[in-house]
Every structure is written in structure tokens, then in C-alpha cells.
Amino acid sequence: MNKTWKLVRTIVKMQFSLAGKSTSEQIGYAFLFIFAIPFSIFIFYAIDGIVGGLYNILEPAGNESFILGLLFISMFVVLILVSVGSILSSFYFAEDIESFLSLPYHPFQIMLGKSAVPFITLYVTNAAVLAPGLIVFGMHSGSGVLYYIYALILWTVTPVLPFVLTAIIVMYGMRFLNLSKNKDRMKIFAGLFTFIFIIGINIVLRMNNSSTDAGEDLACLIEEQNGLLNTITTFFPTAYLHSITLTDPVSARGFLFLVLSLIIIACAFVLYLTAGQKLYFKGVLGLSGGSKKKFDEEKITKKIKQSNVLFISWVREMRTIFRTPTFFTQIIVQSLVFPVLFIVVILFDSNGGDFSISSLGSMVEEIEPKRFILAMTGFTVFALGINPASISSISRDGKSWFNHLYMPIKAETVIMSKVWAAFCINLLTLLVIGAVAFIFANIPIGIGVIWFGMSLIINWITSVAGTTLDLYTPNLQWTDEREVFKGRLIGILALIIEVVVFGSIILFLWNVDWLEGLWMTSSILTAAFILLSFVCHLILKKVIRTHYYSIHQ
């Protein structure tokens, strides 16, 4: 036990160490921390609004447990979402895995060590959403000390179950995938797996909801105490137990359910350790070995063909992103998080919330076209704002950057191939969002086309801007690909710049009176964006001139 603890501590220390970080980065962290304070106040008020509103509606019929149920379920889903990526990268794709394999530890001990950092990530999420939610609920229900004690216990154990379940499934999947001995396909499969899983959960939930006639049944359910809770928690027994415990903390049932929750979680944890012992190494061991494929001469000759330098450079970028596990999870998977959340929101809310399918459709008709277009544009900026492919354009090359310098390729060609790569990856995000909006919310074709056109320009701007920023302050001296993303403020910087620039354009147009109508608004917006992309190109050109040949020194 003591040995395991030492391992965990060492791994955590290595990850969070500030050693080797420049003072500017440390100042950056301090800023982040200061930023977090108003942000958390904002979250708290937002949650207070939602929970308070729901509480007033549901409390009369004794259905306030529904709020907690919803809270725990959404937490469950969010925690799974967060887990998958971090488990994959920490358990399997981290470069330091090999150095741990040689240490005299059991597989489950190493797995525990490797769990620490992803687990801490979960607690951050947990603290940001669940904690204020529980506090707000306690305030509204006027509960006593016991509620807060139980709430603290449940808050502490909430991340365990989603994490453990995800880890078991991932480990099982990785073992199976490893047997197939195909590294490339495996990585892509691992990424897609997340989405199939999430979408699967959604479909199950949706089927459950839509099979009942929403309006009438809702009325019945509201009259019945805890009726709503019973319906939504069918697939999440622990959410049910947690919610009952907290709505009724003083009763014997409350205590019983708390104990039951803890037992379930403890069992899951034991299962997790067993699974780790049995499965973890099986997935890891094959990873570093590299499989010996049969040599196929024809395959080689087929690959030899002539193509354009910009195109082949773009192909190289895409290959690098798809083949490097860290880049794959950080770029492809990350850029799909937002569209998937969008799907979750739309599908979850299928029974009449603000974002539900039907209300989105009617919203289109009700809202002024100008505001609708502006709002959609704002939404797109957010969806594309953190553009991990563009802000890592240069840094991804790391120490091999110098290869661009001696080859007879124009600097502009190299950079543009990177911009195109970022653009294409974001296009994926756009297509997913577009398809979902198109299929589920009856958005008129005209508006859809305008949105898509506008999104392409926004996508281009963010790709150019992100690449420019990365060329301005790249991190080429990494030894582990994760350093390209970790501990760099460039992502937030890019988002802030984009939100400020696009936000002021949108805000300005929102408030001017002379601007009205769909076509006029979108024309002006398009004109503004084209101008903006022109400016971005000018800046990029300047940064290429000043930085391209000097960043590697």
C-alpha cells in the first residue's frame, strides 16, 4: 500500500511540477486563477437560477428529487466524457509508460498511479458543477447539517463510478484491440469509441422518453411523488439512490440508500482493481513493441506517385495528427467534444426545454432573423474558438521543425498546409453540428446555407489566427507530445482574442437599428469577416517573415 502511494505521489508530482516552467507561464497560471473567481461566481448564479426555478415548480408535488437526479445523471455523463480522453492518454498513450513497466509493481498499482491525474481532472469538473448544484439545492430545500454531510460524502464519491466504469471498458477494449495488432486502426477506433458510447447512451435515453407521450405522462408523473425521478434514473441506479438520500436525509431510508450507494461504489472499485490487474498490461505491452507486418512490395510501389507540394505537405500534417495518439486525442477528439455536447443538449432536452428540438424550430420562426443569424454566428465562434489543430500547427513539429528550413519549399507553402489541416479538422466539427441541427431542428434551408457559408469563413479565420499565434510563440523543445498542449496559455489566449474580436462585431451589429433582415445582416457579417480574414493573412505574412527562420534557434 505504502509503495503504491509513493508511486501515485511521484506520478502526480511529475505532472504538476512547475519546475522548468518559465515565470511568464507561472504568471499566466496566477491570472487563470484570478479569472476563475468571477467565473465561478457566474456559474454559481447560473446554477442557482436553474435549480431555484425548477425547485419552485417541482417542490409542491414532491418532485424536487428530480433536480438532484438530473444533476447526478448529467454529472455522470460529463464525467464519463472527461474520463475517456484522459484515461486513454494517461493509461496508454503517454510516452512514459515504458519506464513504469520495468518497475517492480503489480499492474493494478501502476494503473492506480496512472489514474491519479485523470482522477484529479474529474474532481475539478466535479467541483465546478456538482458542488454548487448541491449547495444551491440545500439552500432552497432549507435542509439541515445532515444534508450537507451526506452531500459532501456523495460529492466525494461521485467521480468514482463513472471513472471506474470508463476505465474498465477502455481497458477491455484496448486489450481486444491490441489482439488485432493494428496500431493505426486501433487509435482511431479508440477515439470513435467515445462517441459511439455517448451517442448510445443518448439514444437509450431518448427512446425511453419518446415512447411515452410526453405531455400527458409528464402531468401524471408530476402528481406522483418522485415520479419524475423514477423515470429519468432508470438507467442510473446510483443517481436514484443519491437523490433519495439527499431529498430525505433524516429518514432511515435516506441513510440506508447512502450506505447502499457507498457499497455499490466500493464494489465497482474492487472490480476496477481486478480488471486493472488482469487487463491493463495486456493492452499496454503490445503498444510499444510495434507489430511486425508482412512486407508487401506492391503496397510500396503503389504509394510512389507525384503530387503537388502543398497537397503532400497537407497530407503529412493530417497523417501526423491521426497517427500520433496524443495529437489524435487532443485535436480530433477535443474538436468533437463541442458538437457532441450539442447533441447531448438537444437530445436530452427532447421534452420541451429551451433547447429541445421542437423549440429550436419555433425559435427560428419567432426570433428576428438578424438576431438569429448573429446568435448562430456567436455560437459557431465558440464551437470553433478553441481550435487545437491550429494553435499546435508549428509546435507539433517539435525538434523536426528545422527540416522545413533546408528544403526548397516556400515558408508560405509550409504554413498554408498547416492552416488547411486545421481548417479541415474543424470542418468535421461544423459538419457534425450542421447535420444535427439540420436533421433535428427544422432550420430552414436558406438560414442553414448562410450559416454554413459564414462558418467556413469563421473556420478559416480561426485557423489562420491560431497558426499565427503558434508561429509567434511556439513550443518546439518538447520531449513528450503532451507538452504541446499542456501548460501553454495559447489556447485561452486564442479564445480570448477571438471572443473579443468576433464578440464586438456581433455586439455592434446586434445594437444598430439601421440593420435589419436576414440578407442584409448576413451580407454585412460576411463582408466584415472577409475583411477580418484579410487582416489575419497580413499579420500571418508578417509573422512568417519575422519568425519562420528564427524560432528554432
Partner 1 sequence: MIDIQQVTKEFSGKTAVKNLSLTVEDGKIFGFLGPNGAGKSTTIKMITGILPIEQGKITINGFDITEHPLEAKKRIGYVPDRSDVFLRLKGIEYLNFIADVYDVPTDIRKKRIEYYAKSFGIYESLNDHILTYSHGMRQKIVISGVLLHEPEVWILDEPLTGLDPKSSYTLKEMMREHANKGNIVFFSTHVLEVVEQLCDEVAIINNGHIEFLGNMSEMKQQFQEDDNLEKVFLELTQNE
Nearest distance in Å: CB 159, partner 1: 34
Which CB, 189 or 401, lies closer to partner 1? 401
Nearest distance in Å: CB 25, partner 1: 21
Residues contacting residue 257 through CB under 8 Å, at least 6 positions apart: 241, 242, 244, 245
Nearest distance in Å: CB 306, partner 1: 5
Residues contacting residue 461 through CB under 8 Å, at least 6 positions apart: 529, 532, 533, 536
Which CB, 211 or 306, lies closer to partner 1? 306
Which CB, 294 or 513, lies closer to partner 1? 294
* CA–CA separation, 321 and 191 (whole Å): 13
The residues binding partner 1 (CB under 8 A) are 290, 293, 295-296, 299-301, 303-309, 312-313, 316, 319-320, 323-324, 398-400, 402-403, 405-410, 549-550, 552-553
Which CB, 140 or 316, lies closer to partner 1? 316
Handedness of CA 500, 502, 505, 509 (dihedral sign): negative
3-state SS, residue 20: coil
Nearest distance in Å: CB 396, partner 1: 10
Which CB, 470 or 498, lies closer to partner 1? 470
Q: Are 402 and 552 in contact (CB under 8 A)?
A: yes
Nearest distance in Å: CB 543, partner 1: 16
* CA–CA separation, 471 and 491 (whole Å): 13
* CA–CA separation, 132 and 151 (whole Å): 11
Nearest distance in Å: CB 401, partner 1: 9
Nearest distance in Å: CB 97, partner 1: 15
Residues contacting residue 517 through CB under 8 Å, at least 6 positions apart: 369, 370
Q: Helices 334-348 and 411-440 meet at what angle, rounded to 10?
A: 10
Nearest distance in Å: CB 85, partner 1: 20
Nearest distance in Å: CB 402, partner 1: 5
Distances (CA, A) of 408 to 238, 411, 414, 550: 62, 9, 11, 17
First vs last C-alpha separation in the chain: 47
Q: DSSP code of 408?
A: S
Which CB, 207 or 292, lies closer to partner 1? 292
* CA–CA separation, 495 and 175 (whole Å): 38
Residues contacting residue 150 through CB under 8 Å, at least 6 positions apart: 245, 246, 249, 254, 258
Count the residues in the chain: 553
Which CB, 295 or 514, lies closer to partner 1? 295
Which CB, 215 or 408, lies closer to partner 1? 408
Which CB, 327 or 342, lies closer to partner 1? 327
Q: Are 551 and 401 in contact (CB under 8 A)?
A: yes
Which CB, 202 or 417, lies closer to partner 1? 417
**Residue 122 grid cell:** 474529474
Nearest distance in Å: CB 320, partner 1: 5
Which CB, 263 or 312, lies closer to partner 1? 312
Query: In 10 A of CB 288, how many CB atoms?
Result: 10
Nearest distance in Å: CB 405, partner 1: 4
Residue 290 zone, left/alpha/beta (φ > 0; ψ -120 to 50; rest): left
Closest CA to 392 of 480, 301, 487, 491: 491
